């Protein structure tokens, strides 16, 4: 072997040996517990010790941090597993506190009040595990805006007592395009066991009623489970509410424009007959079954508001203190006391602009007049059936007057 070949061979052997030495150095460090491997074990022990000191309590906040369009009913709920809640703070973005309550078992928390729409809230939660170690969680969310939510205004009021003709009527503040979804979120039941069906008059109104008038003495329950229901594209319900109302005695009154008398019946028996004055031949009163929707001891009636104007555009009448007025239609049909007409017209002549008038006195302070008696003995939801006027039957959606539709027609308006 030449010197050149010897040198190249020695260099190669040396390089190979160096590689072996390097490899031996790595493996030797593992064996001896030194070097990088030793540091790894030490760090693992530190991590393990730190983990042992951390709380086992697991906090869950709904909705998730950063959520938008959050529910005003179901938002801001807190639960904990493997621990108990010790402190929960809910505030608006400006720091205003919101009342809430931790459950008796300290496993959950929720607000004591309904949240506001279009508001940003912040939640700060502390919990402890069985060894008293604290865990913390924070979240911020924004509730659904009015533009992206809908609300249904309903009648009758919770806890009220109403007449047998009172439907459940719900008016939505946004047009509902997904009617089936919304209707599924609304249930109306009665202790009478009567079947109840709902009817959509338009995109904003749905009424519910049984086939016949409600059974007297029964209790009706309306449940709104609309939270999160998409009523139209990008528009969600926010209501979670249960409403109950009671049906009073069965009172139905029959106005006969031909005889100019009104028979007031309870349970089908006439308890009083009252002389009336209905709409004149030029201004006939609607016919049909009408439900009293509002009561006013005194109110103003101006002809201009219902289309009765003179040549100067002024109302043909403007009476600022009409006594004992009860609304029968949205368009302005009332049954009310009349103090300006001669007593002789009642029971003899139809003189009104379409309302049904009963003899009364100015000031509405005499309880002995026919107008006062009928007012004091009537409930919102009582039925007034108007007959023999010669006019058309009132539209079912003009007031709470869906009883003028057959049961088949009524059910045909359901979205389900």
**What residues are annotated to the active site?**
336, 355
Q: Which residue has the tokens 């926010």?
A: 238
* Nearest C-alpha neighbor of 218 from the set 396, 381, 405: 381
The answer to whether the beta carbons of residues 123 and 131 sit under 8 Å apart is no
**Given its phi and psi angles, is residue 411 left (phi above 0), alpha (psi -120 to 50 degrees) or beta?**
alpha
How far apart are alpha carbons 253 and 30 in whole angstroms? 101
In which residue are the tokens 């029971």 written?
347
Radius of gyration, CA atoms only, the chain = 38
| Residue 354 contacts residue 333 (beta carbons within 8 Å) | yes
Long-range contacts of residues 78-82, Cβ cutoff 8 Å, at least 24 apart: 78/108, 78/109, 78/110, 78/123, 78/125, 79/107, 79/108, 79/109, 80/106, 80/107, 80/108, 80/127, 81/57, 82/56, 82/57, 82/58, 82/129, 82/130
How far apart are the C-alpha atoms of 386 and 279, rounded to whole Å? 11
In degrees rounded to 5, what are phi and psi of residue 47?
A: -60, -40
DSSP, collapsed to helix, strand or coil, labels residue 298 as: strand
Of 240, 244, 242, nearest to 214 (Cα)? 244
Q: How far is CA 201 from CA 175, 211, 333, 409, in A?
A: 12, 17, 20, 11
Closest CA to 342 of 364, 357, 355: 357
Task: Quote the CA–CA distance of 336 and 353 in Å, as a whole number.
Answer: 12
Q: What share of the chain is helix, strand, coil (3-state, %, to 5)?
A: 20, 40, 40
């Amino acid at each position: 072997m030449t010197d050149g070949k010897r040198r190249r061979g020695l260099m190669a052997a040396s390089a190979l040996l160096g590689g072996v030495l390097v490899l031996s150095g790595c493996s030797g460090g593992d064996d001896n517990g030194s070097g990088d491997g030793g540091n790894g074990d030490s760090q693992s022990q530190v991590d393990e010790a730190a983990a042992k000191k951390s709380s086992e309590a697991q906090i869950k906040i709904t909705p998730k941090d950063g959520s938008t369009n959050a529910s005003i009913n179901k938002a801001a709920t807190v639960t904990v597993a493997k621990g108990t809640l010790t402190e929960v703070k809910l505030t608006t973005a400006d720091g205003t506190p919101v009342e809430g309550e931790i459950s008796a078992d300290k496993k959950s928390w929720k607000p004591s009040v309904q949240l506001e729409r279009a508001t940003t809230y912040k939640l700060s939660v502390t919990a402890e595990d069985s060894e008293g170690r604290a865990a913390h969680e924070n979240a911020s969310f924004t509730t659904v805006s009015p533009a992206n939510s809908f609300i249904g205004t309903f009648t009758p009021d919770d806890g009220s007592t109403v007449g047998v003709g009172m439907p459940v009527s719900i008016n939505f503040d946004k047009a509902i395009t997904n009617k089936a979804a919304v209707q599924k979120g609304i249930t109306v039941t009665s202790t009478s066991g009567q079947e109840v069906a709902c009817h959509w008059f338009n995109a904003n109104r749905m009424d519910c009623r049984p086939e016949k008038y409600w059974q007297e003495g029964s209790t009706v329950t309306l449940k709104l489970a609309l939270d999160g229901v998409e009523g139209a594209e990008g528009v969600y319900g926010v209501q979670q509410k249960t409403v109950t109302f009671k049906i009073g005695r069965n009172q139905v009154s029959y106005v006969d424009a031909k005889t100019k008398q009104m028979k007031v019946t309870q349970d089908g028996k006439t308890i009083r007959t009252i002389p009336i004055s209905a709409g004149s031949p030029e201004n006939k009163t609607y016919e049909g079954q009408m439900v009293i929707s509002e009561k006013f001891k005194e109110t103003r009636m101006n002809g201009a508001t219902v289309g009765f104007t003179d040549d100067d555009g002024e109302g043909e009448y403007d009476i600022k203190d009409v006594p004992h007025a009860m609304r029968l239609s949205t368009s302005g049909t009332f049954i009310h006391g009349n103090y300006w007409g001669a007593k002789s017209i009642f029971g003899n002549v139809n003189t009104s602009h379409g309302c049904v008038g009963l003899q009364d006195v100015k000031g509405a302070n005499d309880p002995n007049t026919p107008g006062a008696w009928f007012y004091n003995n009537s409930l919102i939801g009582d039925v007034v059936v108007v007959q023999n006027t010669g006019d058309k039957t009132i539209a079912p959606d003009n007031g709470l007057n869906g009883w003028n539709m057959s049961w088949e027609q009524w059910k045909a308006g359901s979205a389900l």
